[in-house]
Structure 1
Amino acid sequence: MSIYHHFKKEEYPFVERALEMLRLVDERQIMRLTDFLDPRQLFILQSLTSQVQDVKVSASGGYDGAERVRVLLHPSYIVPEDVNFRLRLFEIKGNQRFVALEHRDVMGALLHVGLKREKFGDILLGEDSCQTVVAEEVADFVRMQVTNIHRIPVSLQELPLADLKVPEKKGTNKTFTVLSARLDAIIGEVCNLSRAKALLPIRAGKCKVNHKVVEDPSHNINQGDMISFGGFGRFEITEVTGPTKSGRLRLTAFIFS
């Protein structure tokens, strides 16, 4: 069975690049650093290590629990250091109107100056400022080019990674019961939709589970799964218990605000 059988067609180019890097590291016993990867890409890369003999995958996004990370591929006898990941931290500050900015405003500003998404990591919004981790090779470019966000003048200050502030997750918990852990049933409960109204967007590719597009409404959901649904935001299944006396499963979802 081909290794590609496990992945979607649109993921093939990334799989090819990942295999090429893994084989290069394995053959030459060197280190190779990726751009920022999303959780799905990280999973793919980790799963492909079975195709080589002695290559380890180490990841860092600047803090524990980072969603987007740079990955260092290296022989197992090498112990990576923080400096190997080539990460730089910027704090972005603005005037009082800055507090009204959203995640998408900051991302839009970074993309607008020509920065590729794979060159910066998580965007962390605080009370009166914002921090973001970028690839070292584009740090000077970011500092010079990002002067406004959504027409609000901003200043960028580089800080040590140790000064990174991880904000608490904002959102609400919702507990509900379903007959089975089907994707359409769970989306219906969390988004207050009938199962019929959840079906069409799922089949149209507007739903992701753990950053992978899922078009099968009967896809089984597990505790820890992250689900995003076009137009409704995203949520994480934090608990699955049951069955109850009536045979239903009890789930808790954390709905991000």
Structure 2
Amino acid sequence: MELYQHFRPEEQPFIDQVIDWRDQVERQYMPVLSDFLDPREQLIFRSIIGHDESLTLSFHGGYDTSERKRALLAPFYESTSDDDFNLTVLQGTYATKFVSLTHRDLLGTVMSLGLQRKKLGDLIVKDGKFQIICDRDMAMFLQLNIEKIKNTRIDLKEVGLDDILTPNHQWHEKDGTVSSTRLDAILKEIYQISRQKAQQFIEKEAVKVNHRVVNQPSFTLQPGDLISLKSYGRSKVVDIMGETKKQKQRIKTAKLK
């Protein structure tokens, strides 16, 4: 399929899924709601649906700047609302005097239940509280099975979307040029480290792209990719804007402050 050549081989199953959803909407005239998608998957979804005027594609993750969002694909004449995304928010509190809770702690606890990451939206830890954005149908399961985090008892209760603790995410965007869109070259540009050091981090499995460990320095990055470098923080590829006269790649990246 010609469509595949624009994406990575490992993204083909998701591409097939999007095509199946599109065909299902066109065949059954009913909306389709996806699991939670990362930014790269959202970009792929938009690319495949394109400007098809017979369909309406929208995304919602609970709040405007959410990272993980659900997609709702519907016939153009179908009226949809935020309620159709079937989202809820579970909130818990913990004693900040006795325990320090991080996003990693919360994610680890939830994943230990055997859930797939795509079944959950953003996880937020802020001001002595934490929140889990999820499908409404999953809320009861989480409430029954999450009783402790780091040996500290917690109590989960549902709150409204208006009560989401919006994270103070500040992304610093930067334009630059790189010799190629290889992972090691872009790490060098974003984190201002040597290419050799970038390769060492990658080979030691200290780098994740879209939440998956990548151990190949030659891995090619594309717009929408999220990057995590252990101890250095998170970043993302915003856009790849073509070659310069010296045959370097012009890119726009962003780093989380």
Structures share a fold, TM > 0.5? Answer: yes
Secondary structure at 1:234 match in 2? strand
- State yes or no: 1:114 paired with 2:107: no
- Report the CA distance shift for 1:145/1:26 in structure 2 as closer, same or farther (over 3 A): same
The Cα of 1:65 is off from its aligned counterpart by 1.3
TM-score (norm 1): 0.78
**Aligned residue number for residue 131 of structure 1:** 131
Q: How does 1:82-101 map to 2 (within 5 A)?
A: 82-97=82-97, 100-101=100-101
Unmatched segments (≥5 aa) in structure 2: 239-243, 245-249
The answer as to whether partners of 1:209 and 1:226 remain within 8 angstroms in 2 is yes
The Cα of 1:36 is off from its aligned counterpart by 0.8
Secondary structure at 1:30 match in 2? coil
The Cα of 1:121 is off from its aligned counterpart by 0.5
**Aligned residue number for residue 81 of structure 1:** 81
- Whole-angstrom CA distance in 1 between matches of 2:52 and 2:174: 43
- Whole-angstrom CA distance in 2 between matches of 1:219 and 1:104: 27
- Report the CA distance shift for 1:185/1:252 in structure 2 as closer, same or farther (over 3 A): same
Deviates more, 1:203-212 or 1:182-191: 203-212
**Aligned residue number for residue 241 of structure 2:** none
- Whole-angstrom CA distance in 1 between matches of 2:199 and 2:166: 36
**Aligned residue number for residue 151 of structure 1:** 151
The answer as to whether partners of 2:126 and 2:167 remain within 8 angstroms in 1 is yes
Q: AA paired with 1:166?
A: T
* Cα deviation code 1:164-211 (max 9, x no counterpart): 12021268x698987768664552354352122224555898756677
Secondary structure at 2:155 match in 1? strand
TM-score (norm 2): 0.78
**Aligned residue number for residue 254 of structure 1:** 255
- Report the CA distance shift for 1:106/1:195 in structure 2 as closer, same or farther (over 3 A): same
Deviates more, 1:203-212 or 1:140-149: 203-212
Q: Identity rate of aligned residues, in percent? A: 32
The answer as to whether partners of 2:53 and 2:76 remain within 8 angstroms in 1 is no
Q: What is the total number of aligned residue pairs between the two structures? A: 247
The Cα of 1:143 is off from its aligned counterpart by 1.1
Measured on the aligned residues, the alpha-carbon RMSD in Å equals: 3.8
Q: How does 1:1-257 map to 2 (within 5 A)?
A: 2-50=2-50, 54-97=54-97, 100-169=100-169, 184-188=184-188, 190-199=190-199, 201=201, 226-229=226-229, 232-236=232-236, 254-256=255-257
Q: AA paired with 1:126?
A: K
- Whole-angstrom CA distance in 1 between matches of 2:8 and 2:133: 29
- Report the CA distance shift for 1:29/1:221 in structure 2 as closer, same or farther (over 3 A): closer
* Cα deviation code 1:89-146 (max 9, x no counterpart): 1111122357511101101111112332122100111111111211111111111111
* Cα deviation code 1:32-91 (max 9, x no counterpart): 111111111111111111496622211100000110011111011123111100001111
**Aligned residue number for residue 246 of structure 1:** none
* Cα deviation code 1:223-242 (max 9, x no counterpart): x975433563312579xxxx
- Report the CA distance shift for 1:11/1:158 in structure 2 as closer, same or farther (over 3 A): same
Secondary structure at 1:96 match in 2? coil
